Amino acid sequence: MADLQETAGACDDEGGLMQDDLGRLRNALGFDRLGKHVLISIARELEVVGLGYFPLAVLAPRCNTKPRKDQQVWVYTRDGGERARVLDAVLRPQSYNVRSALDGLVSGDYSSLTAEERLREVQKIVTA
């Protein structure tokens, strides 16, 4: 089976956020047709290569019962940056520190960040 490494590279080239369609993602994984198992594979492989996506319903077989190759998803690099943290917190609030992402990062108030999040911010400054 192929992978979505090229998609990850293209997303990085676009600044960490881009739109893609199910047909291209399906082809990148070596599938001929879209269906429940292909949607699950696309979602899983996006995560494997460090990408997130939205809207979540497009790759959810329960919601997208008739997937079409021209359906669009936004793909983003899950690099720990502000965009990724905010998107992850909004899309998967049960798994992320929503208050930190929304209150701290959006407003620029770093006091609500965890120690690990603060360290990442310092590392970004040092490597800039």
Q: Is 84 helix (H, G, I), strand (E, B) or coil?
A: helix
Which pLDDT tens digit goes with each residue over 59-85?
999 999 999 999 999 999 999 888 888
Q: What is the pTM of this model?
A: 0.79
Any idea where the domains of the chain sit in the sequence? 5-77, 82-127
Which pLDDT tens digit goes with each residue over 81-106?
888 888 888 898 888 777 777 776 65
CA atoms in the 13 A half-sphere facing the CB of 97: 13
**Sign of the four-CA dihedral 119, 124, 125, 127:** positive
Which residues have a Cβ under 8 Å from the Cβ of 12 and sit 6 or more positions away?
77
Q: Which two tokens stand for residue 66?
A: 């008739």
30 has pLDDT over 90: yes
